């Protein structure tokens, strides 16, 4: 049976979609494994609108025998509003590669599998990072770089070779000269520099930031935004609603089990939350592991879904995630979080139902995965964040 675009489209739908979608989600991020996905509360405009309760009814009191009953209080509620974000990933196959392997089924399968693996890893990295981001999409700030392909950056944590990025002046929101859709060729993590592909040089300063291509201010509302002390969240100002601010522990210093237990107690006593999951920066995880060993406690490591490892704090799993900022730990009451989505990852189709299509004007074929989603925390105060944790090694 000859390999045609029609037969390939069927393979994309029936074979690759279930496999790729599952693989993206399974190892996405440690926190993603604890958060339930839902298709509820989405308006036809693509906006998530949730009516969330907070506080107490207030209609209670202790009275004398002949006193009037307590005045009835109404349940306190507010509406959250946030647009679904568009997460997308695209692969390309040249016509030359297509025709070179089309006569050999095994070779063509290898060609497709290789491209699918690359797309899966890119979607996985981008979506996983967004769970911990603040919605702006900023990957890092730049340093002072004069007319060069090598750019100084504040951090390489969210950067990987092969990423296509925009270099944008934050005050104007415009790309710098030669700063649009530049591919990262190499990364020097020790000296915090990236080298761009091509020959067009760039000039940067600390007012310039690096963003994934086209993503500035378009990413999901991740933990970075929810755990911020000030600002707006889902259309409400945190300054006006104290329950929008999680329990924050700054300048934590040396890490101990007692500090985790104190944070979980404060969440329970102040916000009625029940922390059932803790994720930390990798070095913080290692610091806590060493603390347990120093205290001569038996260190039991448990495997979590997605290949993540877990320690235990008072029976609560503690894991690490590469996307959490240095010196931080996040404690979640997971049932207060939902990933609102129209659907899971799916292929874009043209008006004829084709998934892989020829790019007009180019000898290339393309296919795109897409997902419309937004992360919502119904009760931000029922979570905690520790920052400023001292890391002595690694």
34: three-class secondary structure by DSSP? coil
**With contact defined as beta carbons under 8 Å apart, do 54 and 241 qualify?**
yes
Identify the pLDDT of residue 187: 98
Name the percent of the chain in helix, strand, coil, to the closest 5: 25, 30, 40
User: What is the residue-level pLDDT of the chain in tens, covering all 394 positions?
Assistant: 556 677 778 878 887 888 788 888 887 888 998 999 999 999 999 999 999 988 777 778 888 989 888 888 777 889 999 999 999 999 998 989 888 877 777 787 888 888 889 999 999 999 999 999 999 999 999 999 999 999 999 999 999 999 999 999 999 999 999 999 999 999 999 999 999 999 999 999 999 999 999 999 999 999 999 999 999 999 999 999 999 999 999 999 999 999 999 999 999 999 999 999 999 999 999 999 999 888 866 677 777 777 778 898 988 999 999 999 999 999 999 999 999 999 999 999 888 888 988 899 999 999 999 999 999 999 999 999 999 999 986 5
**Alpha-carbon gap, residue 87 to 365, rounded angstroms:** 20
In eight-state DSSP terms, residue 326 is T
Burial of 40 (0-12, 13-18, 19+ CB in 10 A): exposed
Per-position DSSP letters for 356-388, written without gaps between them: SEEPTTSSEEEEEEEEEEEEEES-GGG-EEE--
**What does R_g of the chain's alpha carbons equal in angstroms?**
24
The phi, psi pair for 74, rounded to 5°, reads -95, 150
Q: What is the pTM of this model?
A: 0.91
Widest Cα–Cα separation across the chain: 93
The gap from C-alpha 293 to its chain's centroid, in whole angstroms, comes to: 31
Identify the pLDDT of residue 238: 97
Helix (H) or strand (E) holding 312, with range, is strand 309-313
Strand partners, 188: 193
Identify the pLDDT of residue 318: 94
């Amino acid at each position: 049976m000859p390999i045609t675009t029609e037969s390939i489209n069927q393979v994309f739908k029936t074979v690759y979609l279930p496999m790729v979608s599952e693989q993206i989600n399974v190892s996405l991020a440690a926190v993603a494994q604890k958060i339930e996905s839902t298709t509820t509360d989405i308006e036809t405009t693509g906006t998530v609108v949730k009516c969330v309760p907070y506080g107490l009814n207030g209609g209670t009191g202790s009275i004398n025998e002949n006193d009037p009953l307590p005045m009835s209080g109404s349940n306190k509620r507010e509406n959250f509003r946030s647009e679904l974000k568009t997460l997308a990933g695209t692969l390309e196959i040249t016509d030359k590669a297509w025709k070179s392997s089309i006569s050999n089924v095994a070779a063509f399968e290898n060609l497709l599998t290789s491209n699918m693996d690359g797309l899966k890893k890119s979607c996985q990295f981008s979506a996983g990072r967004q769970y911990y981001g603040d919605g702006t999409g900023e990957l890092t700030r730049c340093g002072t770089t004069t007319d060069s392909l090598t750019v100084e950056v504040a951090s390489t944590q969210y950067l990987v070779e092969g990423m296509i990025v925009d270099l944008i002046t934050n005050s104007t929101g415009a790309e710098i000269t030669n700063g649009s859709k530049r591919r990262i060729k190499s990364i020097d993590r020790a000296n915090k520099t990236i080298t761009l592909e091509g020959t067009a040089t760039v000039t940067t300063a600390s007012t310039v930031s690096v963003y994934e291509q086209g993503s500035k201010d378009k990413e999901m509302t991740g933990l970075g935004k929810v755990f911020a002390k000030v600002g707006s969240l889902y259309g409400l100002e945190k300054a006006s609603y104290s329950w929008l601010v999680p329990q924050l522990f700054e300048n934590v210093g040396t890490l101990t089990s007692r500090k985790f237990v104190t944070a979980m107690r404060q969440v329970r006593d102040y916000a009625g939350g029940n922390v059932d999951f803790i994720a930390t920066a990798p070095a913080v995880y290692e610091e806590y592991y060493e603390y347990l060993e120093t205290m001569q406690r038996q260190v039991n490591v448990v495997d979590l879904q997605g290949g993540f490892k877990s320690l235990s704090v008072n029976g609560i799993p503690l894991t690490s995630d590469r996307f959490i900022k240095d010196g931080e730990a996040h404690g979640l009451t997971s049932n207060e979080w939902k990933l609102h989505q129209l659907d899971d990852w799916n292929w874009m189709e043209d008006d004829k139902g084709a998934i892989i299509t020829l790019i007009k004007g180019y000898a290339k074929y393309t296919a795109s995965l897409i997902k419309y989603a937004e992360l919502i925390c119904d009760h931000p105060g029922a979570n905690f964040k520790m920052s400023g944790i001292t890391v002595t090694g690694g």
